Amino acid sequence: MPQYDFDLFTIGAGSGGVAASRRAGSYGARVGICEDSRIGGTCVIRGCVPKKLLVYGSSFADAFVDSAAYGWSVGEVSFNWGKLIANKNKEIDRLEGIYRKLLKDSNCALFEARGRIVDPHTIEVGGKRVTAANILVATGAWPELPKIPGIEHAITSNEALDLTTLPKRIVIVGGGYIAVEFAGIFAGVGAEVTELIRADEILRGFDEDIRSNLAIEMKQRGIKIMARQHVAEIKKTPAGFLLRLESGATLEADCVMYATGRNPKSRNIGLEEVGVTLNAKGAIQVDEGSRTAVSNIYAIGDVTDRLNLTPVAIAEGRALAETLFNNNPMTISLENVASAIFTQPPAATVGMTERAAREKGFAVDIYRTRFRPMKHTLSGREERIMMKLVVDRASDRVLGCHMVGPDAPEIIQSLGVAITCGATKKQFDRTMAVHPTSAEEFVTLRDKVPEPKAVAAE
């Protein structure tokens, strides 16, 4: 008789948990997985996928306007928010069904209930206890809300994806990628959008040229960005909501959305009781192999707060399954992971920012361009593409690629291969361009940006 009911039991059926469980199941492991919400997790149910569908929906506004210069007479157009949400929900239902089938086909036993660790080999789930040789925690993260008067009137990105009616005026609090993405969505479908940020610029942690250039494009689309602002109180009024800011200013809105951060979902599932270490934010502390302080308990994805991206969670999960059940020890690198911001226009990045490279001691050459895309030479839209390379002067290796503009995520994904392979600027220069495209600018950049005065003086 087996010592345990399962070889692996996964708590959380999001992208990372499902990937690990399926891969383990394919190698013959006996796998159980539990989820107390919908199958698919943040990315499929309340994150990347539904958000991008809304981005697609809002982007048609540009297409209708721009088409006139290309000979099209579109006529009167109208937008139905309810129809977009309904169609988005149908697609999410379809994807959830696929996730369920994938688990079933991989011989993973699904428990639709909350899981709690009782001891290093026992999980309580749905009123019963099961045992496992190994436990994987993949519970993700959840939006964080500050403790201010009236915060109960605010929504998060979770609820924003399911609003039954489109607000005419929305205030979005936060300057990260979720905030700027939703600002673009709501502005694109006609809402009046005000974004309140605590810093001087949006997108802390991204390259400065992405931050400044994207802010310019957002403002040109009518999004009002108010820097160095803190909300003191939210009040419900007959006309909607009144926000009182610490600066003394007030704002009126029909909807208030907070996107000020997410916290790992690690509390009250028995982790600390069995010896798993959490940091002050609640992130599970793991080694490079995703192992916690308890030797047979592992954690992957957003609950570890390392690099909170869906492909990273999937890669971590698959690497763990390879290690435990295929005699193929694996770890993944968190360096040079490409990422995108699905704003309008979108932005994308891979590798080091200019600031990070300089702080790490690299003497860098910067190549940067800003130009109007060919499409808008006829449409007349005042939109600019920004492209940037950060190059190590000593080795000529390209340390980072950054872009704001149409198709940025698709272009940067390909450049991620080059950065991972250690490509040099000379190799970029030797690559033949595809003309006419925007992407060709990355292999035709020739002129270095002058050194910042502060750096040149050193």
Specify the pLDDT at position 453: 77
The reply to whether 254 and 267 lie within a common domain is no
Specify the pLDDT at position 452: 86
CA nearest 156: which of 168, 166, 169, 146? 146
The answer to whether residue 331 is domain-embedded is no
The DSSP string of 206-219 is: S-HHHHHHHHHHHH
- The tens digit of pLDDT for each residue in 4-53 reads 999 999 999 999 999 999 999 999 999 999 999 999 999 999 999 999 99
The reply to whether 129 and 224 lie within a common domain is no
The answer to whether residue 193 is domain-embedded is yes
Specify the pLDDT at position 2: 78
Q: What is the mean pLDDT of the chain?
A: 96
Low-confidence ranges of the chain (pLDDT < 70): 1, 454-458
The tokens of 123 are what? Answer: 């999980």
β-bridge mates for residue 237, sequence order:
240
Specify the pLDDT at position 1: 56
CATH code at position 387: 3.30.390.30
Contacts 24+ apart (CB under 8 A), 71-79: 79/189, 79/190
H helical segments located in 67-117: 81-105
The reply to whether 41 and 170 lie within a common domain is no
CATH code at position 115: 3.50.50.60
Predicted TM-score (pTM) of this structure: 0.95
- Residue 398: which domain range? 339-456
- Among residues 260, 290, 305, the one where a domain terminates is 260
The reply to whether 168 and 199 lie within a common domain is yes
Specify the pLDDT at position 102: 96
The reply to whether 352 and 204 lie within a common domain is no
Rounded Cα gap, residues 264 and 267, in angstroms: 8
**What total number of domains does the chain contain?**
3
Specify the pLDDT at position 454: 59
The reply to whether 138 and 52 lie within a common domain is yes
The answer to whether residue 1 is domain-embedded is no
Specify the pLDDT at position 81: 98
In this structure, what is the dihedral angle of CA atoms 436, 439, 444, 446, given to the nearest 10 degrees? 130
The answer to whether residue 224 is domain-embedded is yes
The answer to whether residue 299 is domain-embedded is yes
The reply to whether 32 and 136 lie within a common domain is yes
User: What residues are annotated to the active site?
Assistant: 435
Residue 274 DSSP class: G
